[in-house]
Copies of this chain bind each other. A is one copy, B any other.
């Protein structure tokens, strides 16, 4: 078994996933390394703050540097000097983000390279082949990420159904190609079905009939109201098989992640801690800080007095404010170290809380703590 549950506390659970490049403890947050590099932070620093696994983007790495370069390095791990596990997405979400610039058929997705305009064609088989070259520990099936709205109009249930069933057929083709590649990694299916419980159920059934190593929830955090997101998360997570890893894709704020863990999700990824850091948006235990704000110009406190990261140990908010104002690279770095350290620390605390059957108490305190800065 590659997935071993350690403890459950209501729906929340801790587990260990054994992968080609090591074990990871869940619930886990995966920093995003789009182009083979987690922006502004180095592999040695990622390890220092406790990162267990990072995410790489198939679509981006396919375009740049290209699979020939990755192949020369014997895979993404060696290319980016990260010897722990890597999960790669399938490229489905990025193709979806191209919106009007791509054409979807049963066979796959045609689009023009945003880099040089070259005609590209991505299929389930191609996605598997690329991820095989990347040699990621967890490979994601190729899917269409069903949009919530197109041009300000919420898409119809029929459209959601068509998209979900296309993703199901692509999931089967992904599975078949993955078997052919005969690599030792894990393959995850992706549940779609928009905001419709019955379509989510049907998507799960179709994926279970194929049989994956893990199951991801896709198509959330794509513009829908928060209550729809929570409703579908709760419903879908409950219906996923218990003895496989569950992965909520592209989510989210600290509160979203805590909510996911409460509903039995094991894995998360999001660009928020890294992207927001570069823009000076800091997550702390006691609330969020926009470090550009002139209130921090003369503030000698660290971002969070209780935080043990390199940034909080050594630098004042005033210094970080200064670096943000002068657009200094080291500002992006220090903010990124703090934000990722914060995300990884709360995952760690949640694992401890679940193991001690104290998740609810931990969550209650966390939600209150997070509102402190706003109250001042």
Say yes or no: B330 contacts A39, CB within 8 Å: yes
Say yes or no: B81 contacts A35, CB within 8 Å: no
Closest-by-CB residue of B relative to A322 is B65
Does A295 make an interface contact (CB < 8 A)? no
Does A17 make an interface contact (CB < 8 A)? no
Give every chain B residue within 8 A of A207 (Cβ-Cβ): none
Say yes or no: A318 contacts B37, CB within 8 Å: no
Q: A271: shortest Cβ distance to chain B, in Å?
A: 14
A44 is contacted by which of B41, B69, B73, B310 (Cβ under 8 Å)? B310
Say yes or no: A314 contacts B81, CB within 8 Å: yes
The copy count of this chain in the complex is 2
Say yes or no: B73 contacts A318, CB within 8 Å: yes
Give every chain B residue within 8 A of A323 (Cβ-Cβ): 35, 37
A65 is contacted by which of B43, B68, B80, B297 (Cβ under 8 Å)? B297
Does A20 make an interface contact (CB < 8 A)? no
Give every chain B residue within 8 A of A68 (Cβ-Cβ): 298
Say yes or no: B42 contacts A318, CB within 8 Å: no
Does A40 make an interface contact (CB < 8 A)? yes
Interface set, chain A 295-346, CB cutoff 8 A to B: 297-298, 300, 310, 314-316, 318-319, 321-323, 325-326, 328-334
Closest-by-CB residue of B relative to A323 is B37
Closest-by-CB residue of B relative to A63 is B326
Interface set, chain A 113-149, CB cutoff 8 A to B: none
Say yes or no: A329 contacts B328, CB within 8 Å: no
Please report the C-alpha to C-alpha distance between residue A168 and residue B200 in the assembled complex, in whole angstroms.
81
Please report the C-alpha to C-alpha distance between residue A43 and residue B310 in the assembled complex, in whole angstroms.
11
Give every chain B residue within 8 A of A69 (Cβ-Cβ): 297-298, 318, 322
Give every chain B residue within 8 A of A316 (Cβ-Cβ): 73, 79
A40 is contacted by which of B37, B322, B329 (Cβ under 8 Å)? B329
Please report the C-alpha to C-alpha distance between residue A333 and residue B333 in the assembled complex, in whole angstroms.
10
Say yes or no: B319 contacts A79, CB within 8 Å: yes
Say yes or no: B330 contacts A40, CB within 8 Å: yes
Does A155 make an interface contact (CB < 8 A)? no
Please report the C-alpha to C-alpha distance between residue A278 and residue B330 in the assembled complex, in whole angstroms.
13
Give every chain B residue within 8 A of A298 (Cβ-Cβ): 68-69, 72
Interface centre among A73, A278, A316, A322 (most CB of B within 10 A): A322
A residues contacting B by CB (< 8 A) are 35-44, 64-65, 68-69, 72-73, 79-81, 278, 297-298, 300, 310, 314-316, 318-319, 321-323, 325-326, 328-334
Interface pairs (28), CB distance under 8 Å: A35-B323, A35-B326, A36-B319, A37-B323, A37-B328, A37-B331, A39-B330, A40-B329, A41-B330, A42-B310, A42-B333, A43-B314, A64-B322, A64-B326, A65-B321, A68-B298, A69-B322, A72-B318, A73-B316, A73-B318, A73-B319, A79-B316, A79-B318, A79-B319, A80-B319, A81-B319, A278-B329, A333-B333
Taking A37-B330, A329-B329 as given, write out 4 further A-B residue pairs in contact, using a Cβ cutoff of 8 Å, ordered by the A residue number. A39-B330, A41-B330, A42-B334, A72-B300
